[in-house]
Amino acid sequence: MKVLILCGSGHSGGSTERMCQVFSEAMISRGHAAEIVKISELNILDYAGDREYDDDMETMFLKMGSADLLAFSTPIYFNGCSSILKRFIDRLNPFWGSDLAHPEYACAMMCGGSPQCEFSHARSEIRSAANTVRMEWMGDLCLPGTDKGVIDEAAVRQFAEKISEKCV
């Protein structure tokens, strides 16, 4: 299985990036190919309707077309996805009602600083994007209390194991 992991944080070395690394390592240890894409390093323009774009989304569409699993990841900002991930999600519009190749499966990983972090809005937004692209939802992982820069790596590995078993 080929796994494409979207890192939706602009903070290099932060909790979201570490979450992606642990997930990638766990998938690789289970025999899958995994690639992390730091969306913040791509040139992705805001969605402005049906028009031609000169940015990196065509490359991402190709990557998506050869992946089996798309793993969205985001820090939680004001109860929602990062603006970086939201911009990417908005640009998935070409999949609406089309035959574009896309991953069969999708999942999400979210982390938030507060011990009482609210994940429902971001979860809904990501699940809606997966549904629009016609990917089967495999679940999500929510990690609260990450303000100290520490994530529950065991929980990430367990999530990767669960996803790996469900996607086979």
How many angstroms separate the CA atoms of 44 and 128, rounded?
Answer: 20
- 41-84 pLDDT, tens digit per residue, is 999 999 988 788 999 999 999 999 999 999 999 999 988 999 99
Side by side, which strands form the sheet with 136-143? Answer: 33-38, 2-7, 69-75, 105-111, 136-143
- 106-147 pLDDT, tens digit per residue, is 999 999 988 888 899 999 999 999 999 999 999 999 999 998
Q: What is the mean pLDDT of residues 152-167?
A: 96
CATH fold for the domain made of 2-167: Rossmann fold (3.40.50)
- 72-95 pLDDT, tens digit per residue, is 999 999 889 999 999 999 999 999
Domain ranges of the chain: 2-167
- Cβ within 8 Å of residue 110, ≥6 positions away: 73, 74, 75, 76, 119, 122, 123, 140, 141, 142, 143
How many angstroms separate the CA atoms of 124 and 156, rounded?
Answer: 20
